[in-house]
Structure 1
């Protein structure tokens, strides 16, 4: 039992080390990637993920059958992995794991400056839902500016949104301000100038939401959990037993009395009877006498076992 206690306490220290390593060197994030686009992972890595396709299939009852994204992983400009990613089939590379997590619709948006140069083109994942649950909302920061573009479309299955199906509302805000500086409603393929930039709502596309994490501390957490289980099993499964023994001189040699403060359960009584019998047998062997029968043990009202 003392050995198990040491293991259990040590496991807590190892678990804390694992948590600190994870917090200091790892990361975990949800990364939406629009199909046909490539998105950087960040967090000090040189990785980026491209989604080639996404498909979701269902049973006739409407229950989900499979969610799968065909993704390519790049380290810099070098392709390092290509795999179909599912919830329980992650892509693994250099300690990074990429799981399929969620999915939805994106708005493909192109933004050009006053000179006609493209400053942004790509998908805006509509990850959020309005308070009345009628509209889906996405946001993107316009590179090189302090502008944020919010794209709003009718939520899937909703027919009471004030935005017609197939259209998108684009609102432009400056960082730190709530009031929009410009807004407009677009049909697919339509362009409109909002402020100093021209925005084009190209079309809608699917996006795959990927859970990306890197956890150097996971191995320490698993070691800590294993030690904790071993320690608990050892502590609970191997009882710590203590016996008091009193020896009195007698005419025939000595009288030995033994008692234990352990609870008088069946396992303890069985062990205590065996313990007392072994003492009596050793005493009889030393005296050259016949091995006696097993001594009698009793349980007193205070729950202690005596012989």
Structure 2
């Protein structure tokens, strides 16, 4: 019995084989579909995180409550899995685009001229002409006519026949590249925003105060004035924050922020969110050293004993003290028994406790009226006046310039593709008994 052995040699190094596998992975349609599905799921999870859906799931299925808690704690759009999926899709688009370059450039610079009679006759639109001129003269006439209409014409002699190819807007096929580059830049912008951007949903600035935005932006915001208006029923109709934005102490923006009119500086946008009352304080220690001269926002916190009493906290590291401040009950009719402090309008209840320790019955307290000062432990606290504070949302996305460039390329690529479409004509000039015949078929693509 004869024995056969087969030996195959690829002639490629392991490195080349590995690169080829990776390249084919990024060109794989199945991999692309899987990546898009994973991205869609991550977007769904991240979007629902800001809703009551996870809470409802936890109530219906108590066993999954730990998962729901992790769901609320996971910032999907700034997570590594989200960035990784965007990166994979961006690389896949780049690889597929590079794969198309040789074919598109070949079609532009060296298109296929030779065709067949069956192809021309089977085209959606085709025409056949007869002429008494010889094939050479007829070919020259049709070439001259097409060139007069601004078409590029290429001919090829195939035996006794002359095959011709004509096109217009051949470079319009390059419009696909800025379009695909725009898709890549959109994903890159998403990666940059997810990695280095942030959104602060409770950025509080009292009137007359300056607060640092933080997060390495070097920005700070001063609230010059807060104004609000109400309907006859006491419903807030509009509220406005007049602010100044500083970049490393240099004024860079000044303007008004309303609910539907944010203020933007570079890649940072400030949105009007809410507002409340604040107390301007001046605090000194026993030696008369000024420890604090600014406003404290009230209402972000409430006392457990009285949820209708706006409260705030102030840390004084130099004095090793933390102050708890409580304003008058905003709804004394609702559960009046809870209002044990019985503060009058214009009064402020203050309690001092050591930093890091909870207040107890021995902690010093005082009630101070607006414009007055009171002793609280070793501190003298002056309640200068009531003020307002604004709550802004601060969105910082360093990927915005990339999105702007991507938008320009996207619109430009689409404009090139739709307004300069490739138009082609194929034809064959063949000899006939009494002259020559011409078969033509215009192609939209």
- The alpha-carbon distance between structure 1 residues 20 and 178, as it changes in their structure 2 partners (threshold 3 A), is farther
**Whole-Å Cα distance in 1 between the matches of residues 34 and 208 of structure 2?**
50
2:225–2:241 Cα contact (<8 Å) kept:
yes
Aligned length, in residue pairs: 222
1:110-142 C-alpha deviation (Å, 9 max, x unpaired): 111222221111111002223332311011212
> 8 Å contact 2:329–2:343 — kept in the other structure?
no
Question: Match for 1:156 among 326, 330, 339?
Answer: 330
Judged with a 3 Å threshold, the aligned counterparts in structure 2 of structure 1 residues 82 and 115 are, in CA distance, closer, same or farther, namely same
State the distance in 1 between where 2:400 and 2:34 align.
Answer: 18
User: Contact 1:119 / 1:143 at 8 angstroms: preserved in 2?
Assistant: no
Q: Is the 8 A contact 2:273 2:391 kept in 1?
A: yes
Following the alignment from structure 1 to structure 2, what is the Cα–Cα distance between the partners of residues 8 and 81?
A: 45
CA root-mean-square deviation: 3.0
Displacement of 1:178 in angstroms is: 0.6
Matched residues in 2 for 1:70 and 1:118: separation?
A: 28
Report matched runs for 1:114-153 at 5 Å: 114-126=286-298, 127-131=300-304, 132-153=306-327
* Corresponding residue for residue 166 of structure 1: 346
1:190 aligned onto 2:190: no
Question: SS state of the match for residue 288, structure 2?
Answer: coil
Superposed CA deviations along residues 45-92 of structure 1, whole A, max 9, x for unmatched, are: 221111111112223344432121111111122111011101221111
Secondary structure of the residue that 2:35 maps to in structure 1?
Answer: helix
Gaps of 5+ in 2: 1-27, 44-81, 87-189, 407-445
Query: Within 5 Å, which residues of 2 pair with 1:1-307?
Result: 6=32, 9-10=35-36, 12=38, 16-17=82-83, 21-22=192-193, 24-29=195-200, 30-126=202-298, 127-131=300-304, 132-158=306-332, 160=336, 161=339, 162-180=342-360, 181-216=363-398
CA distance in 2, matches of 1:153, 1:171: 12
Structure number with the higher strand fraction is 1
1:180-206 deviation per Cα after TM superposition (whole angstroms, max 9, x unaligned): 542211111221222332111111111
Q: Distance in 2 between matches of 1:176 and 1:101?
A: 31
Of 60-69 and 169-178, the range deviating more from structure 2:
60-69
Say if 2:315 and 2:355, in contact at 8 Å, map to a contact too: no
Give the match's secondary structure for 1:144. helix
Report the TM-score, using the length of structure 2 for normalisation.
0.45
Aligned-partner Cα distance in 1 for 2:394–2:281: 25
User: What is the TM-score normalised by the length of structure 1?
Assistant: 0.64
**Comparing both structures, which one devotes a greater share of its residues to helix?**
2
CA contact (8 A) 2:192 2:399 kept: yes
Q: Runs of 5+ in structure 1 lacking a partner?
A: 224-307
SS at match of 1:9: helix
Partner SS for 2:327: strand
* 1:20 positional shift: 6.4
Output the CA distance in 1 between the equivalents of 2:217 and 2:38: 31
Give the 3 Å change call, closer, same or farther, for CA 134–62 of structure 1 in structure 2: closer
Greater than 4 Å deviation, 4+ residue runs: 2-5, 10-15, 18-23, 217-223
Q: Distance in 2 between matches of 1:81 and 1:11?
A: 42
Instruction: Determine the structure 2 residue equivalent to 1:268.
Output: none
Residue 274 of structure 2: SS of its match in structure 1? Answer: strand
